[in-house]
Every structure is written in C-alpha cells, then in structure tokens.
Structure 1
C-alpha cells in the first residue's frame, strides 16, 4: 500500500539514508536534499563527479521560493503549461545541501506529480534529491527491471511501488531560466 511505502521511505530518508524510488519520469535515487552526507553517498554510488549536479523534487510549485532566491514569474507559467515533466535550472539556490548547488549557484528543480513522491515530500517537509538510477555514464533505466543490481544493492531501501510497470519512461525536459525570465532548453 502506498501509505506504508511512504512511511518506510520517510524513516530511511529522515535517518540519512538513500532510497531507490519511482518518479513521474524514470526511477530515481534520492535522499533528503538538506543532508550533505546522504547527497555525497549518492555521488559515490553513481560514481559521479560532484561537479555534475543533481536535481531536487518538490511537491507543489509554491515551494520553489523556499529553495530559489528569486523565482522568475515565467517559471510558474512554464510549469503550468508543460506537457511533459519539466526540470527548471535556476540560480540562487538556498536551504539545500551545498553539494547540490552548482558553481553558478543554480539547482535544477522539478515539481513531481507522482503520488509517492508528493506524499513523501509532504511528510518530509523538505525537497528530495532525484538522480537517475544508474552508474554515471551508463544509460538511464527506462523502468525498474532495467536497474543494475549494483544500484539496488547500494541503496538503503527500494520502494515497493510501480516495480512491475514496464512502460518506457523518459527523463524530464530541462530548461535553464535566468533571473530576468529568459530561458533556454538544455534537454528536450
């Protein structure tokens, strides 16, 4: 049951653990976005350079201003009208682990529509790190059955939701937004 899985994942994340979980895009590896030790464990598991940032998930768009200094108005419009999951990279990151903030002070943020993610983030009262469930440089797994054993063994908890689904999911669209509201696509 979803509520039980949210409760189990919440305890792991609150205790500084990392989880493997379904999102509105591909499966993700995640943790409390304010916990630097947990964030560094994810970098180590993925064998990823710390200069390559990871995104954070929030449950509703009005939480953006809690983690971005000045959210341009266009960000809310883009989220509202996006046809596919949309990650916005914006400068002025705050209130998250410094390990998640890029050299230019930016962080990628996505409002997740997945029920598990929304409930976990609401209960955690903090954003959740989300990065693809693969070793850096390998293809992102399209569904749970394609996640490597190394990743499964490397997390503290594997969420038992949507594991049976074989629908091929794609990563989110990524756009960079400047404080003046201009934007560009990074990944379509």
Structure 2
C-alpha cells in the first residue's frame, strides 16, 4: 500500500490535505494524525470493517477498547446518558487531554468498544485533529499511531517509521504538546474512577468531585487480587526494544546505584542508556545519557518521555536505566508509563 504523507507547517492548516484525509476516513481507510496528547491512528468509529483494520495494522488485542474522538460537545447519539459529573468535566476540560467513559449507545459498534457496554469519548484540542473530525463527519476511533506495545509517537517521524506502507494517509503537524495519552475517567461509577492517569491530574479532577480516585491497580503490577478495571491496561505498553529498569529513591543514592549498574553492564560488553534529567545528567560517567528535561518541570518530562524511549531504540542500546519521579500531579502519569515500559521492573534504593 502506498501511504500519502503530508506534513503541515506549524500553525498552518492545509484544508485540502485535511479534506483528502477526511475522505479516507469516510471511505473506510486509516489516517494517522496529530493530537495534543500523542499521534492517533484513526478510522470511522461507526464502521466495523474500518475499526477492524486498526486492530490489524497495530497488532492490537481485540479486547482492548478504542477511544472515539469528537469535534464538539454533542455526543448524545453515541452514549446513553451523560451524568452530571461528566458534564462538569466536559465543561472544564474539553477540548483537552481527558477521555470520559460512558454507557454507549447502539450506534457505536461492539468492535469499537471491544464488546463492552461502555465507550471512551474525547474531544482533542489539537486544531488539525478537530478539523479532521469535523470534515470527516463521523467520530474517529483512534488509539496511538504505533505498533502495539511500542512507545507512543509524539512526532510524525515515528508514525512514518511504524505505519508507512500500512495505512492510506499520514497527516503531520507539530510535535504533541502533552506527550502522554489522555487521562481516562470512568463516569459510569460513583464516585468516578481514573483508569489511566494523564495531564488532567487527580488534583484537578477533585475540584470537580472530591471523591474521584485512581484505580489502585493502575500503579501496581497486575495480581490476582489487583487487576485493572480498564481491559487494555493489562497489556505491555510503551516498551522500548531494550529491557528497562527503574531505579528510584533518594536521588544521590539513585545516581550512585545507576553508575554502579552501568559499569557492570559495560564490563559485560553491553551498551546502556540512562534516562536522566537536567539536574543529574552530568553525574553519570559512562553509558549513553539522555535528559528528559528538568525535574522542576514535570510537564516537560512527560512531553519528552516517549521520544527519549524511542531514541534509545535508535541507538540500539542493550539495557536502559531510568531515574524515578515523585508520584504527584502529572508525576503519577509519568511513573505509570515508566512502570509499564519497564514491565514493573523497579529497584528501590
């Protein structure tokens, strides 16, 4: 398959290209497109065969439900009801990086929701994404635009790496501003439950409803007595090609332990990547060191996380060691993604 690739200049909307991509969506094809969270791989959410192709191209398990993306607040035809708390979240945070899980209407095919009676709905704030949805005239089902299991793409080049020749169209724009997938809030339960942390943090949501909580299984390795409520969260996600281990605790002890481990790997003839920060990068004497940004700006660390993981793939390292981060605010989302990238391989120091 020949993939058409169009990369737009920042802040310039190419209406003709968006209309071409929208026609691909209407005709049952697949389009990769930017959002403020990560790049998405989109299809007509209401067309079964189109949605099947998302699972096929990504290699995504079919019991992992998709999120549908809309361009305005009129979602009544896709869901059975909108609880008051959901309305308040929509008013406060849409368009933006939060997905609401609601009871779906019969208009949404079961394949889109992976057979569940609920569906995740989001209104992205990215201008290209919104234009594409509006011109398509249908909600767009869109997981991240990568091969399933790999770090999500925040730059169009990563979509091209994974999907060129496999889908009809790739729309490129600027890099994703958030860099982590949307917060997912289940509004079918009371109190609402965060199924995936993101840039809309627990602290922000508790201003809407003080009892909103995070599913305890989100931050822990799945166990028989602690399984995530969201079906897709049981799968390996965000993983680079090399094994990743998180070293967390007192920062000085973390640095010392990572330096010790790196030397052991080097002695065994292995190459090691170190995920550091601006404050610590000069403290590592060996290995390939990449900074995620400053610890004083966790939003920037979140934005850079997946691209740094991908960069270690580019460099062909044998192992990756990462510093840990405080699980507060967006730090919860950062550590959620890091833990899943590492398969919950964590060393406390």
Q: What is the TM-score normalised by the length of structure 1? A: 0.88
Write out per-residue CA displacement over residues 52-102 of structure 1, whole angstroms, 9 at most, x where no aligned residue.
0110001112x2211001111211211222395101111234312321124
Bigger Cα Rg? 2
Which whole-Å CA distance do the structure 1 matches of 2:88 and 2:179 have between them? 24
Contact 2:37 2:176 in 1 (8 A): no
Contact 2:38 2:153 in 1 (8 A): yes
User: What secondary structure sits across from 1:66 in the alignment?
Assistant: coil
- In structure 2, the gaps of 5 or more residues are 1-12, 198-349
Could you tell me how far 1:148 is from its partner in structure 2? 5.5
Residue of structure 2 equivalent to 1:37: 49
Find runs of 4+ consecutive structure 1 residues off by over 6 angstroms: none
Q: Where in structure 2 are the equivalents of 1:173-188 lying within 5 Å?
A: 173-178=183-188, 182-188=191-197
Which whole-Å CA distance do the structure 2 matches of 1:126 and 1:181 have between them? 30
Write out per-residue CA displacement over residues 12-54 of structure 1, whole angstroms, 9 at most, x where no aligned residue.
1111110011112110100111111111111001101111011
C-alpha RMSD of the superposition: 2.0
Which of residues 148, 152, 175 in structure 2 aligns to 1:165?
175
Q: What is the TM-score normalised by the length of structure 2? A: 0.49
User: What secondary structure sits across from 1:44 in the alignment?
Assistant: helix
Which whole-Å CA distance do the structure 2 matches of 1:129 and 1:108 have between them? 10
Residue of structure 2 equivalent to 1:12: 24
Residue of structure 2 equivalent to 1:121: 133
Contact 1:26 1:141 in 2 (8 A): yes
Q: Which has the higher contact order (CA 8 A, sep 6+)?
A: 1
Count residues in correspondence: 184
Which of residues 78, 98, 110 in structure 1 aligns to 2:110?
98
Residue of structure 1 equivalent to 2:58: 46
